Structure 1
Amino acid sequence: MEQQGEEKMKKKVMVAIDESELSHYALEWTLENLGNTIHNSELLVFTAQPTTIDFGYTNNVLDPFCFTPELVAAIQENYKKVALVLLDKAKDICANHGIVAETVTEVGDPKKAICEAVEKFKIELLVLGSHGRGTVQRAFLGSVSNYCVHNAGCTVLVVRKPI
């Protein structure tokens, strides 16, 4: 009975990461500054695998619409491998702080996938890193953290690396 009460008291915290240095900074910051809270909580480290293929690395000679389904499947499989490597690295970072974290990856637009995961896992605190984009870049590229602040069904903490 006492254990059931402890489980109810545990908060659920999620840190969303990507391949950027800033998201790993947010994870480290969370573990160092919210350590006592994290020790008494369930920590979920989350990353999203894109659904679209970034053709930015190709030159203009290649037509992105000529890619075969096999090539698209191979690229998506590579996204999955990258996500799993990111999550393994995050688990190691957590372990170095004495924290056992659950890891999850989902396929989808990162900002929407994060908000859906918040709902799915009943997260109470979402931690994100800030890429520090200016107003113009945010207007054109969008901002995952800005979207999550306005759409996640929980408290959102955006961690910005000092300049």
Structure 2
Amino acid sequence: MFSKILVALTNTEIGQQVFEEALTLASASNAELILLHVISPFDDDYLAASRMQTDEAYTNFHTHGVEYYVKQWEALKQEGIEFLTLLTNRAIAKNINAEFTQELGDPSRIICEMARNWKADLIVMGRRGRSGLSEFFLGSVSNYVLHHAPCSVLTVQGIIPTTKNLPITVSTVLST
């Protein structure tokens, strides 16, 4: 079965589902876990942390902007560490050997590189369900990992947005 499972996580609802799935697999196969959280420069949380507040005076922009950015960045890193520590402790409480790491960069490449270096048997990760233009412009981490991983990959499907609230009928399409 599996002896080393890399778990790529985000601090979201799908991240919790991914973790639960990995716990179940690790328990069933007596595998060890490494929990990985990647802070990406293109992630919404990172972009929000990098928005700098400006004063009216341009000369104060640099000092205040950098201070604000550093505080936000440290808070984001600390939030990730706390999230990973909590999950690692939950795994250890279930007698599963677990550790964690947090990295900065492109999640797709870091996940594959970590799996290769750690010699993982399995990667467990989430999938947001992006498709079409959204996937083209924003990319798909799970798609990249599926095609470049050095081991098996289990993707846990997140909630796919539906168009329930936007009914499209033939008359709507013809009138536009």
Q: Determine which structure has greater relative contact order: mean sequence separation of CA pairs < 8 Å that are 6+ residues apart, divided by chain length.
A: 1
After TM superposition, the score normalised by the length of structure 1 is 0.75
Deviation at 1:73, TM superposition (A): 2.8
* Corresponding residue to 2:144 among 144, 147, 152: 147
Q: Structure 2: which 5+ residue stretches go unaligned? A: 56-61, 161-176
After TM superposition, the score normalised by the length of structure 2 is 0.70
- Does structure 2 conserve the Cα–Cα contact (< 8 Å) formed by 1:22 and 1:161? yes
Q: Structure 1: which 5+ residue stretches go unaligned? A: 1-8
- Does structure 2 conserve the Cα–Cα contact (< 8 Å) formed by 1:128 and 1:158? yes
Taking the aligned partners of 2:75 and 2:144, their CA distance within structure 1 comes to 26
Q: How many residues align?
A: 151
Taking the aligned partners of 1:70 and 1:112, their CA distance within structure 2 comes to 30
* Same amino acid, percent of matched pairs: 30
Aligned residue number for residue 50 of structure 1: 40
Aligned residue number for residue 19 of structure 1: 11
Taking the aligned partners of 1:72 and 1:155, their CA distance within structure 2 comes to 38
Larger Rg belongs to: 2
* Corresponding residue to 2:135 among 135, 138, 159: 138
Q: Deviations over 1:11-68 (max 9, x none)?
A: 211111011210210110222355311xx22211111123464159969x99xx9974
Taking the aligned partners of 1:12 and 1:33, their CA distance within structure 2 comes to 10
Taking the aligned partners of 1:55 and 1:30, their CA distance within structure 2 comes to 29
Paired residue type of 2:90: I
- Once superposed, what is the RMSD of the aligned Cα atoms? 3.1
Runs of 4+ in 1 over 4 A off after TM superposition: 55-59
Aligned residue number for residue 31 of structure 1: 23
